[in-house]
């Protein structure tokens, strides 16, 4: 089994879609590790705030299989794919890392958004602070501290909310 980390985000009925994503991932992969949930302002467009978190899971699937599973879950939640990269969405699930794999082919690993966006790096640093970025080599906690300390750092309106996703849906 290989440990994978996924970034989950939603800004259309976000609590319902994030809960549905977690339930679908639990059904397919079993036990999950969950970061705190953060509310963030939309990046790249004007829109409702997002809920974002990072999920850890163990899998024997390839990067392509795991990315396809993420797309299936997104589609089941009404995800519409259009020409606009930055837009409102019911659900966005991105494969961040799969073990220490480094890939230039799609899906690219590790995903470059880890080092670009607070809404990806902060929950990852919360979940696995001592794990190291496969390319950069620094611990995620150290990457977050450096990111947050930059004079030009844009923490993108990031704040932790008290959404508890630890119990399976319906309990």
Report the chain's mean pLDDT, rounded to a whole number: 89
Is 171 a member of any domain?
no
Structure confidence at residue 90 (pLDDT): 85
Does the pLDDT of residue 162 top 60, yes or no? yes
The catalytically annotated residue of 26, 48, 49, 89 is: 89
Catalytic residue among 19, 92, 111, 126: 92
For residue 89, count CB atoms less than 10 angstroms from its CB and return exposed for 0-12, middle for 13-18, buried for 19 or more: buried
User: What confidence category does residue 128 fall into, taking pLDDT thresholds of 50, 70 and 90?
Assistant: very high
CATH of the domain at 106: 3.30.70.560
Is pLDDT of 119 > 80?
Answer: yes
Catalytic residue among 13, 26, 28, 79: 79
Task: Check residue 46 and give its pLDDT.
Answer: 76
Query: Per the domain annotation, does 168 fall within a domain?
Result: no
Q: Is 130 a catalytic residue?
A: no
> Has residue 22 been placed in a domain?
yes
The dihedrals phi and psi of 87, each to the nearest 5 degrees, come to -160, 170
In this structure, what token pair is assigned to residue 167? 């119990």
Given this model, what pLDDT does residue 133 score?
A: 98
Look at residue 32 and tell me if it is in a domain: yes
CA distances from 59 to 12, 31, 32, 71, 120 (A): 29, 11, 11, 16, 21
Q: Which of 83-87, 98-102, 144-148 has the lowest mean pLDDT?
A: 83-87
Does the active-site annotation cover 85?
Answer: no
Mean pLDDT of 157-171: 74
CA 21 from centre of chain: 11
Average pLDDT for 45-65: 93
Number of domains in the chain: 1
Angstrom distance (rounded) from CA 55 to CA 34: 5
Planar angle of CA 86, 25, 138, nearest 5 degrees: 65
Report residue 166's pLDDT band, with 50, 70 and 90 as the boundaries: confident
The per-residue pLDDT for 158 is 85
Whether 82 is in a domain gets the answer: yes
Residue range(s) defining the domain that contains residue 46: 2-161
Of the residues 19, 94, 111, 126, only one is catalytic, namely 94
- Decide if 79 is catalytic: yes
């Amino acid at each position: 089994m290989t440990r994978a980390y996924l970034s989950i985000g939603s800004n259309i009925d976000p609590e319902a879609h994030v809960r549905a994503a977690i339930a679908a991932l639990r059904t397919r992969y079993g036990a999950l590790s969950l970061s705190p949930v953060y509310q963030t302002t939309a990046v790249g467009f004007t829109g409702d705030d997002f809920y974002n978190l990072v999920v850890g899971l163990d899998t024997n699937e390839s990067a392509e299989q795991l990315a396809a599973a993420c797309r299936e879950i997104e589609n089941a939640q009404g995800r519409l794919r259009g020409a606009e990269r930055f837009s409102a969405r019911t659900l966005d699930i991105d494969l961040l890392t799969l073990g220490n794999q480094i890939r230039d082919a799609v899906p690219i690993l590790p995903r470059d958004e880890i080092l670009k966006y607070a809404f990806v790096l902060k929950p990852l640093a919360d979940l696995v602070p001592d794990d190291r970025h496969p390319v950069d080599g620094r611990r995620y906690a150290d990457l977050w501290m450096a990111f947050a300390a930059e004079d030009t750092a844009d923490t993108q309106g990031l704040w932790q909310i008290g959404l508890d996703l630890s119990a399976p849906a319906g309990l």
